[in-house]
Structure 1
């Protein structure tokens, strides 16, 4: 008989960006039964190949979670109209409406504007002088500005939707009542913004969604609002968290930082390795429900049973990666699944890649003497949320090394 264990018993408190050794032990056995902080018990998949099956095999469904108390690490389960809660063909229909805005070619057209934003933020930091907060002064405003301009959201409202995003991703940071209040406010805000765009049509992503709703009848009003909310939250949260995460990894490995500074051509490879190496999520991904009996990892998952995956475990699978716990930008092995896999592979993966490349390149060019402003203990790490990242990261640089002409 399989024993169901609470998540907290399998995984201890996360220290910075360390991956819990328990994940390595779990990969040695078949699936195990766990109970996340919220929802019903589930199977946990930790092996690379098992995780890819759960995320990519149509026998595992996201839509089947609707109406169930799905296993999850955070309070909020998302709107029923959300892209993340659909299966093909409904998922395919919705994704096609916005996918063209996030193709590699379209994203490359955004690179010059993204670089302009990054350079402006770096210039402001340089003018103000050290210390600066990498999170508040650079990591947050960069992707927020990009996604606001792409969507058609006033960037001046960023403090509001940052709070709403925090509530959306809350595990213990907010109460259930606060989560309901703030997610409700986000919905009201987005509904008002859509109404404003209808009154004064614009050439942005919200405008395109409105046209698909009003003229082509290709999505419902609920789907329109849920998609706009999802893009706004996901479009900045991951990148805003990974910029300081990536900086932390490099600043604590001065040899590799120096190598990257000497050869900026390694930046794209480094971003990919950091996506594999950095455990952005401290818990498990969205549950998939088996639509029929499926043998997975030597275990029979019965129809109707949920399975959750640990991407951070799959990305450290020793059967796939040599020395998986080492950070190696020159690694040439299987693709990571830091952006997920299958139909729900991150819609904005190309945008995130480009922003992360621009962010690292900008920091390397403008601040050759970049370092922590004090002891590591001064870094404040997020707590009570589904993402692992610094909330405040004081940084400094040599005043004579900052490049105003970078």
Structure 2
């Protein structure tokens, strides 16, 4: 699942400019967390934690326009005149990374990896993903009740999958968690600690690339290098960025979504647990609804998928000036009452009433969407089938959450059966 986020450059808040005309003073704008509790409506102006003005777009149709309109892009967020939009560095700061390149150059980079993530390619991995799940469940059951389902299942599952996909046998899970937490930090770590961790992670990626050049294998990294050699115009820094970005995106968001889904399913949605166990089709339908309705990001730090306008753009009846930062609030769009009616408990096994934007839309649509779906679908179905009496050991308001990151999920989750 995509971890596209608003963190790009550290800096103090300033007034954004549009064609030389200053926008409203950031000091006069409502903070982001206040806007996020408003009902979907026309684009409205708020302020990022840096103080930079941001247009928050929340309606379903408006969010789609932001994500697909070529007049809004990621690259302009890194232009010389771009205002600061993050209070700390993170992994996705690199202007040369695939996330932050638009147009033809973005498509060129994307083609080097997208064939590994087609639905047909993902379907071939289904048996061994299922075998990984069954192995983890065997260990969980052998451990006995109670247990921390995060440590035993939601974290090691996506790590095992991406490790096999990328040929990273023996990867230290704690080391990877350290790098990922720093790479996706909002306020949890100092800028110096983040830069150190990202530097170590980048060195790991460079070493991995050198190893695969010397001894290619049947893995995603080797395939990526072969495609890069064929195209002949992908630089080494971009390759390193692609590799470590795939490692993070390949496990972090799946772990987050799976943990958050279990909080819901073993709490408010506990009556659905038996149906999840019944068949994979029911689990597939529930996965789509959970992806749509259970937020991935921490609302205090992740306002939406950020873009910047390159010219004046009318969105939802509001003209947004050129040079403006825009946040597509996919969480709000995914629950827009004009598209999605009823609550999640009523709709859990129903087809989606409209497009979900959890994986984004347009040119930056998440490459790993089909892999994430498969892991969640199989992970929930097999867990419910093997442990039909699974339950939380305490109320949800006592759960210990991971804090200060761009994503939000349980740090630990005690369960019993």
TM-score of the pair, normalised by structure 2: 0.87
Q: Name which of 346, 352, 365 aligns with 2:366.
A: 346
Structure 2: unaligned runs, 5 residues or longer: 1-22
The alpha carbon displacement at 1:298 in A equals: 1.4
Q: What residue is the counterpart of 2:45 in the other structure? A: 33
What does 1:7-406 correspond to in 2, within 5 Å?
7-11=32-36, 22-24=37-39, 27-28=40-41, 30-38=42-50, 40-67=52-79, 68-72=82-86, 75-76=89-90, 77-252=92-267, 253-281=269-297, 282=299, 283-323=302-342, 328-332=347-351, 333-397=353-417
The alpha carbon displacement at 1:306 in A equals: 1.3
C-alpha distance in 1, partners of 2:160/2:408? 22
The alpha carbon displacement at 1:264 in A equals: 4.6
- 1:156 match: secondary structure: coil
The alpha carbon displacement at 1:262 in A equals: 4.2
- 1:42 match: secondary structure: strand
Alpha-carbon contact 1:318-1:324 (below 8 Å) kept: no
The alpha carbon displacement at 1:249 in A equals: 1.2
Q: What residue is the counterpart of 1:14 in the other structure? A: none
- 1:381 match: secondary structure: coil
Question: 1:86-118: CA deviations, max 9, x gaps?
Answer: 112111111111111001111011111111111
Alpha-carbon contact 1:212-1:218 (below 8 Å) kept: no
Further displaced range: 258-267 or 281-290: 258-267
C-alpha distance in 2, partners of 1:311/1:155? 36
C-alpha distance in 2, partners of 1:273/1:377? 23
C-alpha distance in 2, partners of 1:69/1:355? 38
The alpha carbon displacement at 1:215 in A equals: 4.9
C-alpha distance in 1, partners of 2:170/2:94? 24
The alpha carbon displacement at 1:154 in A equals: 3.5
Structure 1 residues 155 and 181: CA distance shift in structure 2, 3 A: same
**What is the number of equivalent residue pairs in this alignment?**
384
The alpha carbon displacement at 1:70 in A equals: 4.5
Q: What root-mean-square deviation, in Å, do the aligned CA atoms of Structure 1 and Structure 2 show?
A: 1.9
C-alpha distance in 1, partners of 2:49/2:115? 36
C-alpha distance in 2, partners of 1:341/1:176? 31
Structure 1 residues 149 and 9: CA distance shift in structure 2, 3 A: same
Structure 1 residues 178 and 270: CA distance shift in structure 2, 3 A: same
C-alpha distance in 1, partners of 2:108/2:229? 16
TM-score of the pair, normalised by structure 1: 0.90
Structure 1: unaligned runs, 5 residues or longer: 12-21, 398-406
- 2:327 match: secondary structure: strand
The alpha carbon displacement at 1:196 in A equals: 1.5
C-alpha distance in 2, partners of 1:157/1:369? 32
The alpha carbon displacement at 1:258 in A equals: 2.9
Q: What residue is the counterpart of 1:16 in the other structure? A: none
- 1:287 match: secondary structure: strand
C-alpha distance in 1, partners of 2:125/2:400? 32
C-alpha distance in 2, partners of 1:298/1:240? 38
Alpha-carbon contact 2:309-2:323 (below 8 Å) kept: yes
